[in-house]
Amino acid sequence: MHNLKKGTVIIMDLFIRFIFALALTEAVEIPLAFGLRAVCVLPRDLSHADTLIPAALVNLLTNPFLNFILLTVNYFWGTGKVYFSFLAAGEIAVLVGEALLFRGLYRVRLIRAAAVSLILNTVSFLAGLGFSMVFY
């Protein structure tokens, strides 16, 4: 296979992984946000749009950023200690960043926003991990 074709295949593979990670995260976290509203972790008086839009937008900001970093680290260093260091630091940064965003978007106290971020990210991380173990 020519280098150009090989490079194109690698880029397409990374792009598909990138888009799939975002889609999986959205598919897990948006319904879960509605569940958190139902059990009063999020305010029950939030409309459907006020529940959906923050969850979707926050993911559109944080997920591509973290996955771009992780895919880059994986490309250059593989999935060893360096990768897992970036994964841990990145997930912590996402938790903090999303908590701050949720605080304003959902109009809740920071501790509640942090709980929402932790719950959403833990469940979607485990879903992604499970998917990776089965299909990769």
The pLDDT tens digits of the residues spanning 41-93 come to 899 999 999 999 999 999 999 999 999 899 889 888 888 899 999 999 999 99
Please report the pLDDT score of residue 51 as a whole number: 93
| Prediction pTM value | 0.87
48-77 and 81-105 helices, crossing angle to 10°: 160
Please report the pLDDT score of residue 79 as a whole number: 83
Contacts 24+ apart (CB under 8 A), 69-77: 71/14, 71/17, 71/18, 75/14
Question: What is the phi/psi pair of residue 29, to 5°?
Answer: -80, -30
Residue-wise pLDDT for 10-34, tens only, equals: 788 888 888 999 999 999 999 999 9
CA distance 68 to 133: 20
